[in-house]
Amino acid sequence: MGETINAVILDADTLGPDDLDLNALFALPVNWSVYPQTSPEQVGERIADSQIVLTNKAPVNALSLSVAPGLKMISVLATGTDVIDLRASAERGVAVCNAVKYGTGSVVQHIWALILSLTTKLADYQRVAADGTWQKNFFFCLLGFPVEELQGKVLGIVGAGELGRAVSKVGEAFGMKVIYAALPGRHYPRYDQDDIRRVEFDEFLAVADIVSLHCPLTPETSNLIDQAELAAMKSSAILINAARGGLVNESALKHALVSGSIAGAGVDVLTREPPRDGNPLLDTRIPNLIVTPHCAWVARQSRQRLIDQTVENLRAFLQGEALPRAVYDS
């Protein structure tokens, strides 16, 4: 490409603190405009003169695309492309690519931090060690909070992709039995993955000691875990959601925890983020619940891989090569 290429980053703050190597990104032969954050109303104005757009959560819809006649490529700084109007992009010949598998290690360790914190009652024991309760105890240890071993328990995985399979490997290392959910209405080739045991969803919910969600949010999976599903789980079961908030009915989960219908939950995602108008799961009175602010993916190494993949995407585009991670390639 001989002409001047304008490129814009709409929400650079999503890349985190200044701990990444961005030299390769900014060495690309383009004119950069970098915005820490961009509201939906500002997107059109900021991409109007650009040929390349980088965004994580700033939405690029049909209206924004209509005022950017020179736009040729959108590189999403994430795996999910739900912030992009893919149909409008295709109609305008705008290539869309993303990043994949960059956060597996970070997300997996976060999921297991949630599981281990809940099963070992880590927060409870830390609290009584700090508030003087332990010092007043007659015996050398405190036994006030029941702890469960993972060995021999059933780990139920919803979603057999990269993350689900990586979480299952850790479970197997703990001596857990791993099963995968066969979701209603889905067809699974019998021998597609010979190391995966799929169980009908009703049975899956009834036998799993830990249910961990790793499926995308679609119209079919919205509120996948609702009041009926929570009631079908063991009273000793733990629910983990580091996928998408909309997979779980949050009011139903609150009720299940308060009533003791299930034993605990760890969530890293909510239906709306950030939850400016509140959320049922942010009630600090809910027992045995850990909520983290969508930070499972944020390890420095994870974010660096995201940048490295983005550079590969852009370099291929600038050199007229096939995009390595194309969602839609013009």
- Tens-place pLDDT, residues 26-63: 999 999 999 999 999 999 999 999 999 999 999 999 99
Least confident window among 59-68, 111-120, 317-326:
317-326
For range 191-198, the mean pLDDT: 66
Output the average pLDDT for the chain. Answer: 94
For range 170-192, the mean pLDDT: 84
- pLDDT for position 2: 58
Paired residues of 248 in beta bridges: 225
Q: Give the CA angle between residues 125, 126, 131 to the nearest 5°.
A: 100
Q: Distance between CA atoms of 313 and 213, rounded to whole angstroms?
A: 29
Going by C-alpha positions, the residue among 199, 278, 288, 294 that lies closest to residue 241 is 294
Least confident window among 9-18, 69-78, 182-191:
182-191
- pLDDT for position 189: 62
- pLDDT for position 194: 56
Exposure letters 28-41 (e unless 16+ CB within 10 A, then b): eebeeeebeebeee
Tell me the catalytic residues.
Answer: 244, 273, 294
Share of the chain above pLDDT 70, in %: 96
Q: Answer positive or negative: Cα dihedral of 199, 189, 101, 54.
A: negative
Least confident window among 64-73, 168-177, 196-205, 251-260:
196-205
> pLDDT category, 186, cuts 50, 70, 90?
confident
Q: Residue 210: phi, psi to the nearest 5?
A: -130, 130
Least confident window among 28-32, 45-49, 217-221, 259-263:
217-221
> pLDDT category, 146, cuts 50, 70, 90?
very high
How confident is the model over 270-295, as pLDDT tens digits?
Answer: 999 999 999 999 999 999 999 999 99
C-alpha R_g of the chain: 23
16 class by beta-carbon count within 10 Å (0-12 exposed, 13-18 middle, 19+ buried): middle
Is the pLDDT at 167 greater than 80? The verdict is: yes
Share of the chain above pLDDT 90, in %: 87
For range 254-275, the mean pLDDT: 97
Is the pLDDT at 195 greater than 80? The verdict is: no
Length of the chain in terms of residues written: 330
Domains and CATH numbers, the chain: 6-102+300-328 (3.40.50.720), 104-291 (3.40.50.720)
Token code pair at residue 147: 């702890």
